[in-house]
Amino acid sequence: MWKGLLFVAVMVHASSGVFAADGGAGSYPNKPIRVIDGFPAGGSTDYLARSVGAKLTERYGQQVLVENRPGQTTNVAAALVARSSPDGYTLFSGLSTVLSSSRSLYSNLGYDLLKDFTYVSRMATGTNVLLVHPSIPVTSVKELLALARSKPKALRYGTPGVASPGHLAMELLLSRIALQLLHVPYKGSPAAVVATTSGEVEVGFVGVSPASMPMIQAKRLRPVAVTSAKRSAVLPDVPTVAEAGFPGFNVTDTYGIFAPAGTPAAVVKLLNAAIRDIVQTDDMKEKFATQGLEAGGSTPEEFRAILEAEVPLWSRVIKDANITVN
């Protein structure tokens, strides 16, 4: 009997070692981890993945390597990860707004956002900012919309692209008041910021980021409102859209780590705890703030709930605004 109990104890101990972080034989991780990013290098998802990955490398003694696989608005990368082995060695760095809206924009994604992933943890959140050229005599959302109403379809607003978070945020706002502005999509935030700064478009709707902040700080662009439920830590004097008279308005970009569905719960638990610890350090908070982002982890369940809520929201906005992608 004692031999049997001893055998069980040894086996339990050995199996628990699979998920230990001591780098020993048979432990997780015992080889490099890949984090796939669907945007080109230099973007926010890439920055976050590399920052967190560097800390995971220090913690585990195994390289965490970020691979950029841009294509079809991150869907190429997402599908690649969804089809990968669910062993914790291939992860995905994704942006909630883009992923949740893709379900209504593309007929054949090659993956199911709510079935093919295990949600690991949120890393950070970001917001979008509604900007106007200084020549436009408005200082609030209500003034901007009043001006737009007096000049139907005359005001142009630039965004980082069709179905970008800025585009979706504006269409959500306009749907509340049955008003239209002329959308001018650009290839990325820097181009949209340049266009708004030069006066090529009167209004810009972009992320709070290193592309937009210098122009705001130099007063070459005037921030009117941010889209998150609470004010941005880097733009504390700028009211939210909700404060401007649209209660409940909340468009928050959530950045997080996903794994293929079926990834062992113990691996997910280990990664979740590590990511949450890392993003709450003062060092990470300061680094993320330079990108206009607010550090913050979550449980896997909290992270999943964010995407589940966004999917029907963007489905409705995309349908009502007749948004399509090439």
pTM of the predicted model, to two decimals?
0.87
pLDDT of residue 12: 38
- Tens place of pLDDT for every residue, the chain, 326 residues? 444 443 334 333 333 334 444 333 248 999 999 999 998 888 899 999 999 999 999 999 999 999 999 888 899 999 999 999 999 999 999 999 999 999 999 988 899 999 999 999 999 999 999 999 999 999 999 999 999 999 887 899 999 999 999 999 999 999 988 888 999 999 888 999 999 999 999 999 999 999 999 999 999 999 999 999 999 988 999 999 999 999 999 999 999 999 999 999 999 999 999 999 999 999 999 999 999 999 999 999 999 999 999 999 999 999 999 999 87
pLDDT of residue 71: 86
**Which tokens hold the place of 154?**
């005359």
Q: Give residue 161's region: left, alpha or beta (phi > 0; psi -120 to 50).
A: left
Is residue 102 a contact partner of residue 315, using CB atoms and an 8 Å limit? no
pLDDT of residue 25: 27
**Structural domain boundaries in the chain:** 2-124+252-300
pLDDT of residue 258: 98
For residues 175-207, b (16+ Cβ closer than 10 Å) or e, as one string? eeeeeebebbbbebbebbbbbbbeebbbbbbbb
Residue with tokens 């794994």: 259
Strands 156-159 and 182-185: parallel
How far apart CA 145 and CA 6 sit, in angstroms, is: 74
Is the peptide bond prior to 29 cis by the omega test (within 30 degrees of 0)?
A: yes
How far apart CA 183 and CA 97 sit, in angstroms, is: 19
pLDDT of residue 41: 87
Is residue 250 a contact partner of residue 242, using CB atoms and an 8 Å limit? yes
CA atoms in the 13 A half-sphere facing the CB of 148: 23
- Give domain 2-124+252-300's CATH architecture: 3-Layer(aba) Sandwich (3.40)
pLDDT of residue 152: 80
Give the dihedral sign, CA 65/69/70/75: negative
